Amino acid sequence: MQVFKFGGASVKDASGVKNMASVLQEVGYANTLIIVSAMGKTTNALEVVIKNYFEDKSQLPGSLEEVKKFHTTILLDLFKNENHPALKKVAVLFDELKTFFITNKSPNYNFVYDQVIGFGELVSTTIISEYLNAIDIKNNWIDVRTQIKTDDFYRRANVNWEETQNLINSKFDKTILNITQGFLGSDSNNFTTTLGREGSDYTAAIYAYCLNAEAVTIWKDVPGVLNADPRYFEHTELLNKISYREAIELAFYGASVIHPKTLQPLQGKEIPLYVKSFINPKAPGTRIGKNVTLEPMVPCFIVKKNQILISLSSLDFSYIVEENISHIFNLLHQYKMKVDVIQNSAISFSVCVDNIFNNIDKLLLHLKAKFKVTCEENVSLYTIRHYNENAIRQIEEGKTVLLKQLTQQTVQVVTK
């Protein structure tokens, strides 16, 4: 059993869908489960739809129609027939989405977000499943929400592993090619939940763990895991092999090629993870597994943009020790801040956070009741694994360094 995951870039248009089919034909698809993300920038487009629902309902129909039009263009490019059943199935999904907006009574943004955003994956997998069937790659379409069960922490749900394992074992048919959605699950009331942005990789790992898969392959538009994001760094290098531990470190610090939650379940059963190119599917790519060392041993660069650096100091010059630190972290948890780096001294505490849930103003107001607070927005956090002086100089050149922290293997630098 093998698990393949195809991201949005790999199926961003009709050519991408056809290329995905070619990859399957070239590398084989026996005993395979395919996890697919939303097509292209659909998730971003649906976020605009959600924003309009809450802030400007007059724009809602138009923004929703744009999403439908995008997928209709792909459908007509693939099937050349307006009466093909695939178009009707997709139309039903969009009607279901419109009905949700009419009938929804919940003012909870995170709940609405999860009910809406998942239609990107439902539509993409419907289109791809129908296309594969049309070219005689017979497959079974699965609604992932019937198999992956979670709590109701909308937008970052936690998996109920026991229930998920039981459902997958009882419902999964290994005799046929299966296709399902990444990113999604459902709670005990069968409302849609999501596993966090880029959670499709995590979906692949969940299924691999539950099915005791031989391997997981993530198909990307890059040759494998690179030592830096080519959008921000020149002269990147392919990492041929990475240990689970090293990959988890890279994921934790924000390497975008791997979702942070993906590696733990794979490591638990020693399931290797391959990152390969859907442009050159026979190339070896990157292998992540047990008992391997980083190859080649080079500095690995990670950058996270649009971060917020919060600096705190006590109002009465008292020490910031256990009691204060506990209070700060309780607030960071309460306002759902993703903490990326911390640094403290006797009377000061700095933290770089990712304001995922847009709660920064509430957090700052709460902190100001007890601390002197300064806040620097739109900063960049650079992390270098296996750094050297030249690597540090490369990221600091021409920037203002606001915070710098070094350990034996890792340096983190916050810049403006």
Last residue of a domain, one of 151, 181, 213: 213
CA–chain centroid gap for 167, Å, is: 24
Kindly state the average pLDDT of the residues 91-101.
98
237 is a domain residue: no
- Say if residue 207 is in the same domain as residue 307: no
189 is a domain residue: yes
Q: How far apart are CA 173 and CA 162, in angstroms?
A: 19
Last residue of a domain, one of 196, 213, 230: 213
- pLDDT score of 261: 86
For the chain, how many structural domains are there in total? 2
Q: Which of 383, 386, 367 is nearest to 375 (CA)?
A: 367
- pLDDT score of 302: 96
- Say if residue 209 is in the same domain as residue 305: no
The tokens of 6 are what?
């195809």
86 is a domain residue: yes
Given a cut of 80, whether residue 198 has pLDDT beyond it is: no
114 is a domain residue: yes
Q: What pLDDT band is residue 179 in, cutting at 50, 70 and 90?
A: very high
- Say if residue 195 is in the same domain as residue 326: no
- pLDDT score of 255: 83
Segments forming the whole domain that contains residue 341 = 300-415
The tokens of 104 are what?
């929804």
225 is a domain residue: no
Say whether 287 counts as a known binding-site residue: no
Q: How far apart are CA 352 and CA 343, in angstroms?
A: 9
Given a cut of 90, whether residue 257 has pLDDT beyond it is: no
- Say if residue 209 is in the same domain as residue 304: no
260 is a domain residue: no
**3-state secondary structure at position 254:** coil
Last residue of a domain, one of 158, 188, 213: 213
Q: How far apart are CA 275 and CA 283, in angstroms?
A: 10
Q: Tell me the per-residue pLDDT of 150-163, one tens digit each, with 9 for 90 and over.
A: 999 999 999 999 99
Kindly state the average pLDDT of the residues 251-270.
86
Q: How far apart are CA 122 and CA 170, in angstroms?
A: 22
- Residue 84: CATH number of its domain: 3.40.1160.10
- Say if residue 203 is in the same domain as residue 318: no
- Residue 397: CATH number of its domain: 3.30.2130.10
Q: Tell me the per-residue pLDDT of 55-85, one tens digit each, with 9 for 90 and over.
A: 999 999 999 999 999 999 999 999 988 899 9
Given a cut of 90, whether residue 256 has pLDDT beyond it is: no
Expressed in percent and rounded to 5, the helix, strand and coil fractions of the chain are: 40, 25, 35
If one compares 255 and 137, the residue with the highest pLDDT of the two is 137
Write out the H or E segment, with its range, that includes residue 405. Answer: strand 401-406
- Say if residue 138 is in the same domain as residue 35: yes
Strand ranges, E, within 95-138: none
Q: How far apart are CA 310 and CA 342, in angstroms?
A: 10
Q: Tell me the per-residue pLDDT of 283-295, one tens digit each, with 9 for 90 and over.
A: 999 999 998 999 9
Q: Tell me the per-residue pLDDT of 104-116, one tens digit each, with 9 for 90 and over.
A: 999 999 999 999 9
| Sequence-ordered list of residues with C-beta below 8 angstroms from that of 133, at least 6 positions apart, any chain | 139
373 is a domain residue: yes
User: C-alpha dihedral over 134, 210, 155, 300, to 10 degrees?
Assistant: -90
Phi, psi of 33, rounded to the nearest 5 degrees: -115, 130
Q: How far apart are CA 350 and CA 305, in angstroms?
A: 17
